[in-house]
Amino acid sequence: MQRGFYFDQSRCTGCYACEIACRDWHDIQDTSVKWRRVTATEQGAYPDVQLSYISLSCLHCADPACRGACPADAIHKRESDGTMLVDADTCLGADACGACRSACPYNAPQFGPGPEAKMQMCTMCHERLEQGKQPVCVAACPMRALDCGEMAELQKKYGACSEARGFACSVRTRPSIIIKPRYE
Amino acid sequence: MSNPADRETVHITSCPHDCGGRCVLKVHVRGGRVRRIETDEGEEPQLRACARGRAYRQRLYAPDRVQTPLRRTGKRGQGAFEPVSWDAALDEVAGRMLDIRRRRGNEAIMYIAYSGNTGTFLHSQLGVFRLLTLFGGFTPCWGSASFWGSLFSSEATYGTLVAGHTPDDILKAKLILMWGWNPAETVQKTNTAWYLARAREQGTHIVAIDPRFTDSAAAFARQWVPIRPGTDTAMLIAMAHVMITGDLYDRAFIEKYTSGFGQFKDYVLGAADGIPKTPAWAAAITGVAEEKIAALARLYATMKPAKLLTLGAPGRSAFGEQFHRAAATLAAMTGNIGIYGGEPAGFGLAPAGLKPEAGTGLIARRMPGNLPEGARQRRAIHITKLWDAILAGSQGGYGADYKMAYITNANPVNQFMNSNRAAEALSSLEFVVVHEQVLTATARYADIVLPVNTHLERNDIIRPWQGGPYCIYMKQLVESLHESKSDLDICRLLAPRLGIDSYGDMSDEDWLREFWQEARGMTHGEELPDYDRFREMGLHRMQREKPAIAFEQLAAEKPFNTPSGRIEIYSTTIADRHDPQLPPIPTWIEPWEGPQAAREGAYPLQLISTHSKRRIHSNMHTVSWLRDLEPHTVWINPVDARARGICNGGRVRVFNDRGAVAIEARVTGRIMPGVVSMGQGAWYQPDENGIDRGGCVNVLLNDTHSPAGAFCSNSCLVEITREP
């Protein structure tokens, strides 16, 4: 099975609760490292302006480009639920390699400061999933705009759209995300 | 508290800051330290916290926490301090207070307190208020930077502040006018934004009337109506014109429940001044097209139930009280009062859960020697006039020559108008003492700074200040950090030094127990658990089948607590004041530093102050996780930017005669031409040339108030240039 995220862009107000909840739960002190990131897209001219936000983390792709790019075999896909795992001990580090960062179309692989920094990214809070809880970002969203589950189930509930303002979906990697866009 | 087993425990608490929401934080504690913060995971509607609440661990352990008492060593404002012992600091504070009282009297001591803790039972400015009252009195301040126009209007029109609905009622409306109201950022009752999203999904027609295309407008509204700041009253009155001339208003409601509609109607139609307040008349003032005004009026008059939702922003302008009076009048004309899905457009307290007096009122009544002896207080000073009062003193017509400021739960240099004047005023005093958690712009002007703990380091009870069917026990979760103490403990130590032996020896726990006992009789009918059970539960939710709405008992003999027992469109209490600037019927008055002055004077841009989603006013401004989310900028329309050679992300100078602020420009079509905006709360940081490098909007604001006392932060004109 493949676990993935659902994001209701039409509801997102750009409040950043998901981003901060992720940072706090995983104790990511350095603000240059973002496992989850909220970004705004503004279009049009006054007064016909449009604004949307998108909240993205690692999309735990079905065909992850990062894994193929890693020369050290440090990136794996969990068999049980298809979530991505990084072996920091094996990772060659930011300066020596960084191939995953170039390969990922979603800017998911994160390196902290320093040449030795190892890759890190969203784990889909597997420790929470094991306790029967949702990832911390999903549980945080004041708009209930995020969901997480098995992709087949999510598709049944929400359809299969993965296109929205502020998100360039790469068909090649088959990201595990469904989005309800704000603007058609 | 420290946990010998080193096991992680999870506790429910909340935030005590002056935010429109009141949410649940679930705090993980291990080894005496906060490790993580989650939010409500219980039954829906869960009370989910925002980014600020989720980042609270960083505020608790912030490197800029004041760790010990500090004594000033440099010039005021410079921020040079030396650590001193509690004994030395308290002896100095008491010594100076006794000396100033002996030489200049109690009124020479000004107490400046504000909303650092809001909705709390115990820890607030009132502990200090009481100490200073027992000391023989002081000069207090009055007013609100948030919503005084609304508060004043709600009292005058409805006779109460309980004139709102719980946010679940949003789902019952067919039409919602978000008037200068942006709950996606200001929260305005936990879950309001969530209900608005669901309302939009179920087809509710939502319109945003706002100079900015806010996050709320983008997420919820079908239509954005940009309007010049300070002109909302004109648009509302023109909408009344459409309803009157088109016979679209609820005559039965007006006749049965209101008084003074006739005078208002005469004014609207121009019987008195010969000026009919038509949409064409309002279009010239507001910048909103005539047909848009007329269409919105027809929509509001015919789509029922409808909510005109607002809080403070449009009323934070010159003559701002008129906006709220006009909004309430339209709510009455459309018959949207006392019905589900309607909204009185009054002060937004909802009739649910603990009443407002169950917070601050308890201290006032239960603690001996407190407010009942308020007769000892000298003339109060409006928060916008503090600096003038200090600088001008009795010569300027104020009640005294002020020699000392005692400041707690507040950051007035930053958050009250005219920061440069604030700096000058505080620098002129003999003595300034500040209780603080971090070294704010205000604390930098202190002679003595006393370190205060946070709500995670002491026990308290909190209610949603705008009313709601729940309350939260905020248990002490960790020992007070560094040498910090609560405001109450500081007062307990100061009292004997000031010769006060009646401050009392009751513990926080004793007070809370006693307050809770009394609060149990201060709800809107809901039952409350006993103290020990409540303390154990942390969150107490009161079950409700339906939303709580104001004035549900319209059938009662006197449903409105006004002199006439009716909704006073013509306010007799206002009329009694005989102030030509404060007419008894809702009236459009051209604001100072408004659009007309912008066209005529040296400063052509209207500046509005907004809330920022990465701060709560000036709280949490230095928390790096939150700072990282968005840069602090001034918003400017591409038309105005182009005319000044300003590009997006460029450094600019925003200035007027009161000061200058260096800041980054955000060029965006999300703000109307002629208007610029800055998020209030960034910390004032003047450089050697007096240019504020911190981006504090109050550097630019005019330190005056509206006739009824509203804080006119949206009546301000500026010019912007590229940073030289």
Chain segment B401-431, per-residue pLDDT in tens: 999 999 999 999 999 999 999 999 999 999 9
Do the chains contact at A141 and B219, CB–CB below 8 Å? no
Residue among B510, B540, B513 at smallest CA distance from B40: B540
Give the minimum alpha-carbon distance from B632 to chain A in angstroms, rounded to a whole number: 15
CATH topology of domain B595-722: Barwin-like endoglucanases (2.40.40)
Q: Given a cut of 90, is residue B287 above it in pLDDT? A: yes
Rounded to whole angstroms, how far apart are CA atoms A137 and A148?
Answer: 10
Question: Which chain A residue's Cα is nearest to B227?
Answer: A47
Chain A interface includes B352 (CB < 8 A): no
The fraction of chain B above a pLDDT of 70, given in percent, is 97
Domain layout of chain B by residue ranges: 70-145+358-453+480-506, 148-346, 595-722
Q: Given a cut of 90, is residue B25 above it in pLDDT? A: yes
Which neighbouring-strand residues pair with B523?
Answer: B354
Which three-class secondary structure string do you get for B146-209?
CCHHHHHHHHHHHCCCECCECHHHHHHCCEEEEECCCHHHHCCCCCHHHHHHHHHHCCCEEEEE
pLDDT at B565: 95
pLDDT at A167: 95
pLDDT at B372: 42
Q: Are B337 and B567 in contact (CB under 8 A)?
A: yes
Sheet holding B539-541, edge to edge: B460-462, B470-474, B539-541
| Average pLDDT in chain B | 95
Rounded to whole angstroms, how far apart are CA atoms A85 and A126?
Answer: 10
Q: Given a cut of 80, is residue B280 above it in pLDDT? A: yes
Q: Please state the rounded mean pLDDT for residues B661-670.
A: 98
Which neighbouring-strand residues pair with A41?
Answer: A52
Chain segment B327-378, per-residue pLDDT in tens: 999 999 999 999 999 999 999 999 999 998 887 666 665 555 444 444 445 5
User: Which of B27, B29, B48 should we substitute to test contact with A (largest number of A Cβ atoms within 10 Å)?
Assistant: B48
Reported in sequence order, the residue ranges of B325-444 that DSSP labels E, i.e. its strands, are 381-382, 404-408, 431-436
B417 contacts: CB under 8 Å, gap ≥ 6: B384, B698, B701, B702, B703, B704, B711, B713
Indicate the CATH number for domain B70-145+358-453+480-506.
3.40.50.740
Q: Are A64 and A46 in contact (CB under 8 A)?
A: no
Peptide bond into B83 cis (omega under 30): no
pLDDT at B4: 56
Tokens of B506: 């009751």
Chain B interface includes A155 (CB < 8 A): no
pLDDT at B555: 76
Contact residues, chain B, for A182 at CB < 8 Å: 218-219
B379 contacts: CB under 8 Å, gap ≥ 6: B107, B139, B398, B399
pLDDT at B367: 54
Q: Please state the rounded mean pLDDT for residues A171-181.
A: 96
Chain B interface includes A178 (CB < 8 A): no
Tokens of B497: 């030094």
- What number is the ipTM of this complex? 0.97
Chain segment B599-637, per-residue pLDDT in tens: 999 999 999 999 999 999 999 999 999 999 999 999 999
Domain layout of chain A by residue ranges: 3-180
Which of B41, B218, B625 lies nearest to residue A51, judging by beta carbons?
Answer: B218
Which of A16, A50, A182 lies nearest to residue B51, judging by beta carbons?
Answer: A16
Question: Which chain B residue's Cα is nearest to A26?
Answer: B36
Rounded to whole angstroms, how far apart are CA atoms B439 and B516?
Answer: 33
CA–CA distances in Å: residue A162 to residues A57, A62, A182 = 14, 14, 12
pLDDT at B162: 94
Rounded to whole angstroms, how far apart are CA atoms B603 and B605?
Answer: 6
Contact residues, chain A, for B57 at CB < 8 Å: 24
Q: Please state the rounded mean pLDDT for residues B208-223.
A: 98
Task: Please give the helix or strand (H or E) that residue B535 lies within, else none.
Answer: helix B531-537
Rounded to whole angstroms, how far apart are CA atoms B127 and B183?
Answer: 31
Per the model's pLDDT, the better-predicted residue between B371 and B182 turns out to be B182
Per the model's pLDDT, the better-predicted residue between A53 and B359 turns out to be A53
Chain B interface includes A47 (CB < 8 A): yes
pLDDT at B506: 86
pLDDT at B370: 45
Give the minimum alpha-carbon distance from A24 to chain B in angstroms, rounded to a whole number: 6
Chain segment A56-94, per-residue pLDDT in tens: 999 999 999 999 999 999 999 999 999 999 999 999 999
Q: Please state the rounded mean pLDDT for residues A22-26.
A: 98
Chain segment B495-540, per-residue pLDDT in tens: 999 999 988 778 999 999 999 998 988 999 999 999 999 999 999 9
What DSSP assignment string belongs to B80-119?
-EEE--HHHHHHHHHHHHHHHHHHH-GGGEEEEE-SSS-S
Residue among B647, B645, B707, B632 at smallest CA distance from B677: B632
Q: Are B113 and B407 in contact (CB under 8 A)?
A: yes
Q: Which CATH architecture has domain A3-180?
A: 2-Layer Sandwich (3.30)
Question: Which chain B residue's Cα is nearest to A13?
Answer: B215
Pairing of strands A50-56, A37-43: antiparallel
Reported in sequence order, the residue ranges of B527-658 that DSSP labels E, i.e. its strands, are 539-541, 567-568, 605-610, 633-636, 651-656
Q: Are B258 and B252 in contact (CB under 8 A)?
A: no
Contact residues, chain B, for A10 at CB < 8 Å: 197, 201, 219
Q: Please state the rounded mean pLDDT for residues A106-134.
A: 96
Q: Given a cut of 90, is residue B226 above it in pLDDT? A: yes
Residues 640 through 669 of chain B touching chain A, CB cutoff 8 Å: 668-669
- Range with the lowest mean pLDDT among A1-5, A163-167, B366-370, B453-457? B366-370
Helices and strands in chain B: count of H runs, count of E runs: 25, 27
Task: Please give the helix or strand (H or E) that residue B663 lies within, else none.
Answer: strand B659-667
Which ranges of B409-500 does DSSP label H, i.e. alpha helix? 412-415, 419-428, 487-497
Measured CA angle at B262 (ends B592, B235), to 5 deg = 35
Question: How crowded is residue B375: how many other Cβ atoms within 10 Å of its Cβ?
Answer: 8
Contact residues, chain A, for B184 at CB < 8 Å: 13-15
B183 contacts: CB under 8 Å, gap ≥ 6: B20, B189, B192, B193, B196, B216
pLDDT at B362: 65
Which of A17, A25, A27 lies nearest to residue B51, judging by beta carbons?
Answer: A17
Q: Given a cut of 80, is residue B136 above it in pLDDT? A: yes
A171 contacts: CB under 8 Å, gap ≥ 6: none
Which ranges of B334-474 does DSSP label H, i.e. alpha helix? 360-366, 386-392, 412-415, 419-428
Which ranges of chain A does DSSP label H, i.e. alpha helix? 17-25, 65-69, 99-103, 126-130, 136-140, 151-158
Chain A interface includes B674 (CB < 8 A): no
Which of B191, B613, B671 lies nearest to residue A16, judging by beta carbons?
Answer: B613
- State the residue for tokens 């990084």: A86
Q: Given a cut of 50, is residue B293 above it in pLDDT? A: yes
Rounded to whole angstroms, how far apart are CA atoms B13 and B476?
Answer: 9
Do the chains contact at A140 and B39, CB–CB below 8 Å? yes
Q: Are B407 and B446 in contact (CB under 8 A)?
A: yes
Measured CA angle at B67 (ends B63, B71), to 5 deg = 120
Q: Which CATH superfamily is domain B148-346 in?
A: Dimethylsulfoxide Reductase, domain 2 (3.40.228.10)
Tokens of B93: 């504070």
pLDDT at B50: 98
Same CATH fold assignment for domains B70-145+358-453+480-506 and B595-722: no
Q: Given a cut of 50, is residue B681 above it in pLDDT? A: yes
Residue among A120, A162, A166 at smallest CA distance from A5: A162
pLDDT at B272: 84
Q: Please state the rounded mean pLDDT for residues B301-313.
A: 97
pLDDT at B373: 40
Rounded to whole angstroms, how far apart are CA atoms B356 and B594?
Answer: 35
Do the chains contact at B669 and A46, CB–CB below 8 Å? yes
